[in-house]
Chain A
Amino acid sequence: MKNKSLKSINRRSAITLLTCMGFSLSLHSGLMASPEMVQSELDKISKGSKKKDADIFLDVPEIAENGNQVKVSFEIESPMTENDFVKEVYIFADGNPAPNVGKFEFTPFSGECFASTKMRLSKTQDVYLLAKFNDGKYALEKSTVKVTIGGCGG
């Protein structure tokens, strides 16, 4: 019984723990994103264009138990034709080391506008979605995610 003391730690929890330790270490040393930083990113993209009403469904968990794998999916109401489609969708998080999470680019070939991915969240924070339409207008949606352990004590 060599590894008796390690019996309670399985591979998965060990990996999670190690990743978390690394992540939290980095959090204390590096600069963090802030709502202001996200706002300036949003302003950069939406500069000079008008806001428009759009049906956006941003699906993020209310409470994320593991901040390393937080599923984010969205659906935007759009006919997705050559004349009227969602061109770009940006995801931002205001409590991560960097505000940007990802940028999705759609085409009329998409047929509908939805996508999903998984992101890292270092602590409880707001997730922003900015959709840019082919006519240059934009729409914004925001949702708060409570992160329990993924934040690694953050």
Chain B
Amino acid sequence: MAKIKPRAKIPKEAELGEIIEIKTLIRHPMHSGRVKNAEGKTIPRQIINKFEARFNGDLIFSMNLEPSISSNPYISFPYKVSDSGSFDLVWTEDGGEVYKLSKSMKVS
């Protein structure tokens, strides 16, 4: 299986009060549990079911994902810049495996 790799596009610097758009992508097949493989066996459901974004520990945005979300799920969301600090992004897979990414941002 291809390596599951989270990515995020966050500006390194932003102005106080500015509303930025954070774009995230994680490489993941998002097996819906309905697709059959070449041998005719159903590939069991294995999806990213939860995404959470925190800034300096505060939850700023979260999303529940269902099998209807495309493979390599892309999520973009807003954030109003209030301070310098770091974003902690967490993707949770079926079965409890988590993928994390941290990025810092400075108020200019």
Interface residues of A (CB under 8 A from B): 19, 22-23, 25-26, 30, 68-70, 73, 80, 93, 96-98, 100-107, 109-121
Report the separation of the CA atoms of residues A26 and B59 in the bound assembly, to the nearest whole angstrom: 37
Task: Give the interface SS of chain B, mostly helix, strand, loop or mixed.
Answer: strand
Q: Which of B1-9, B61-69, B88-96, B100-108 contacts A (4 or more CB under 8 A)?
A: B61-69
Total B residues in contact with A, Cβ cutoff 8 Å: 31
Q: In the assembly, what is the distance between CA of A113 and CA of B61, in Å?
A: 11
Verify if B39 is at the interface (C-beta below 8 Å from A): no
Instruction: Assess A107 versus B73: contact at CB under 8 Å? Given A26-B36, A112-B19.
Output: no
CB-CB < 8 A to B79: which residues of A? 109-111
- Given A102-B66, A118-B69: A107 and B35 within 8 A (CB)? no
Whether B86 is near chain A, meaning CB under 8 Å from some CB there, is: no
Given known pairs A109-B55, A109-B58, A109-B60, the reply for A104 and B77 (CB within 8 Å) is yes
With a 10 A CB-CB cut-off, give which of A73, A101, A111 has the most chain B CB atoms. Answer: A111
Q: Compute how far the CA of A105 lies from the CA of B69 in the bound complex, rounded to whole angstroms.
A: 16
